[in-house]
């Protein structure tokens, strides 16, 4: 294993719980610190902007928590609410607030881009940033080249002998 990508989504405990994440901010930060302490691989997280209850202030704190966590890189992804999904149903039923509008998501992305740029993060692709040289987006480069690699985990991609394991 040379890279671990964790779908944190948000560090904010209330926002996390609205979208079905059980761990608190403190637990997430502790687990990231433990992974980093092993020193065996690049640790990268996914953050989502536009989540229900995620104001610009919450988003700014998510970015501050990203930086203070010391992880090697991050992806900033726009929330997509799909018809028929549990989140779509919860929003429609008023269980959780509406997701951010497309315009607000655009503002959140631009804020995140500037925030990371001001802290010397290097943009490696449309949604991916590196905090240091440990995260070089090697996975993305190798995957695009079709290099054999064993994917492990939800959403992981790769191939072994030309076939994608299921």
Q: Would the pLDDT of 148 be above 90?
A: no
Q: Structure pTM?
A: 0.87
CATH code of the domain containing 105: 3.30.750.200
Asked if residue 23 belongs to a domain, the reply is: yes
The total of structural domains in the chain comes to 1
Asked if residue 156 belongs to a domain, the reply is: no
Asked if residue 160 belongs to a domain, the reply is: no
| Cα–Cα distance, 126 to 29 (Å, whole number) | 25
Asked if residue 104 belongs to a domain, the reply is: yes
Asked if residue 70 belongs to a domain, the reply is: yes
Asked if residue 162 belongs to a domain, the reply is: no
Paired with 129 in beta bridges are 74, 123
Asked if residue 155 belongs to a domain, the reply is: no
CB 78 within 8 A of CB 140: no
Domain hosting 46: range is 3-135
| Amino acid 157: pLDDT | 66
**Each residue's pLDDT tens digit, 54-113:** 999 999 999 999 999 999 999 999 999 999 999 999 999 999 999 999 999 999 999 999
**Each residue's pLDDT tens digit, 36-49:** 999 988 999 999 99
Asked if residue 87 belongs to a domain, the reply is: yes
């Amino acid at each position: 294993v040379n890279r671990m990508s964790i779908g944190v989504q948000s560090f904010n405990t209330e926002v996390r719980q609205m979208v079905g994440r059980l761990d608190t901010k403190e637990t997430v930060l502790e687990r990231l610190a433990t992974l980093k302490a092993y020193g065996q691989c690049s640790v990268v997280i996914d953050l989502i902007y536009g989540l229900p209850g995620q104001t610009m202030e919450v988003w700014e704190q998510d970015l501050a928590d990203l930086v203070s966590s010391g992880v090697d890189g991050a992806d900033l992804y726009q929330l997509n609410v799909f018809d028929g999904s549990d989140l779509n149903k919860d929003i429609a039923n008023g269980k959780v607030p509406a997701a951010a509008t497309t315009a607000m998501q655009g503002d959140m992305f631009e804020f995140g881009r500037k925030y990371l740029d001001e802290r010397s993060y290097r943009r490696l692709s449309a949604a991916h940033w590196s905090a240091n040289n440990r995260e070089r987006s090697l996975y993305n480069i190798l995957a695009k080249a079709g290099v054999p690699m064993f994917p492990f985990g939800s959403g992981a991609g790769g191939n072994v002998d030309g076939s994608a394991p299921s």
